[in-house]
Copies of this chain bind each other. A is one copy, B any other.
Amino acid sequence: MYRERIRLNSLHDKVMSAEEAAALIQDGMTVGMSGFTRAGEAKAVPQALAERAKKSPLKITLMTGASLGNDLDKQLTEAGVLARRMPFQVDSTLRKAINAGEVMFIDQHLSETVEQLRNNQLKLPDIAVIEAVAITEQGHIVPTTSVGNSASFAIFAKQVIVEINLAHNPNLEGLHDIYIPTYRPTRTPIPLVKVDDRIGSTAIPIPAEKIVAIVITNKPDSPSTVSEPDSETDGIAFHLINFLKAEVEAGRMTNKLGPLQAGIGNIANAVMCGLIDSPFEDLTMYSEVLQDSTFDLIDAGKMSFASGSSITLSERRNSDVFGNLERYKDKLVLRPQEISNHPEVVRRLGIIGINTALEFDIYGNVNSTHVCGTRMMNGIGGSGDFARNAHLAIFVTKSIAKAGAISSVVPMVSHVDHTEHDVDILVTEQGLADLRGLAPRERARVIIDNCVHPDFREALNDYFAKACAIGGHTPHILREALSWHINLEETGKMLP
């Protein structure tokens, strides 16, 4: 059965076991693997590599698109394989190793990794491991449920291992649009001017002789871990949709809105779900990951097209979407993450970017990554690619965490991923702060009045008033600015 998926006959003798393919990966190598938001990662070779490392230790630098599924980052960490990891992860075992300083994690804007590779600013991958539904007559690779950085990894690597995964619907072929920017100094504009433009090829074009191994697998992607909306996420969706309605009424956008980008996770997914019952029509997405809500919106006739770099679905939605792919295929495209997140395209299209904050401060600075300024959660992902260049840079979070021990709105964030210059709108279940055109003191007023949980409002008002009495464009009391985080570390809660 797999032979018809390898349409270049000369490659049939490259089929081997995962163990044999993994043996091509040697200690000290840089390896580029497919996989983006738990979708389309190579599955058998990294597992075989982890098994082998238990007996015969080795270390590699692992680059992916974004996060891997099937506990691969866990297995690779436990086997001690990861010396360096970039540009994103979400695994709790790997997270512990990163925070212990055992794995060097390079937390990058997702559009930038392959740009840095192209410019030889990062070490090029020695070998790429790419999941595919097929190899074409030309030896080109047809990706599965994500594109991520796979195309550039395959182009840059000296050797390519392909995993043909029979669990994926072969009808995925045709969904992808592989466009690679030309080299500087003769680079030309990315010719994408509409969300549904196709500007590249449907397979990754590499010389067939670079494919040194083909492994046959039959294992599904991990389902997404998104949970159902709750009253807080519904509240956030309510405030945000009311704001978007007001933007339409003010003539700042049409009822079609701009192309939507939503970060992965419960809150962004809940906001997108909220659009099903909204008055908006003919919506589009230009995002990284397409989640359940994308397909709910398409089914509801609310969304006409969605562009992403991966499709990550819940168990419930998975067989329904991939089993009926023809129903969606003309409304979808999957692009390299360099293109799905490209500053040039994000600015041109006028994207509404909705991303999750870990915390934000009264002046509008956002922390997306570091608990108490020190411990990495996941990584910045694409949020910076979108926020800096979006038409609207929106950050959402619940106003409190840990049963009220933590306020998500603080005097000063303990780490900055998105500066005051880049953040337009902040939303919690308490309300929405529109920061556009406001000076820092005005932002503080709007944020405290609208976004803060009542249990923390008085304390923030006190801080702000005392800071203003001292003065400054952005009033702070340095002795108290991080005191909420210090309290949290020392007592388990931000306020006594």
List the interface of chain A (C-beta within 8 A of B).
84, 86, 98-101, 104-109, 115-116, 119-123, 184-191, 193-194, 250-252, 258, 342-344, 347-350, 365, 370, 372-376, 380, 384, 388-389, 391, 412, 414-422, 424, 436-439, 441-442, 467-468, 470-476, 478-479, 481-482, 485-486, 489
Contact = CB atoms under 8 A, between A and B. Distances in A.
A467 B17 CA distance: 45
Contacts of A420: 107
A347 B467 CA distance: 39
B374 A471 contact: yes
A121 B437 contact: yes
Contacts of A372: 478
A188 B192 CA distance: 8
B184 A193 contact: no
Contact of A100 (B120, B348, B471, B478): B471
A99 to B, nearest CB: 5
Given A373-B481, A472-B375, A478-B373, A388 B388 contact: yes
Contacts of A350: 119, 184-185, 187
A355 B300 CA distance: 49
A104 B478 contact: no
A374 B184 contact: no
A421 to B, nearest CB: 6
B189 A189 contact: yes
A325 to B, nearest CB: 28
Contacts of A347: 115, 342-344
18 contacts: A84-B439, A99-B471, A99-B472, A104-B442, A106-B438, A108-B421, A109-B422, A121-B436, A189-B190, A189-B344, A343-B344, A376-B472, A380-B421, A384-B388, A384-B422, A415-B474, A417-B419, A481-B482
Given A187-B350, A344-B344, A380-B421, A374 B474 contact: yes
Contacts of A121: 252, 424, 436-437
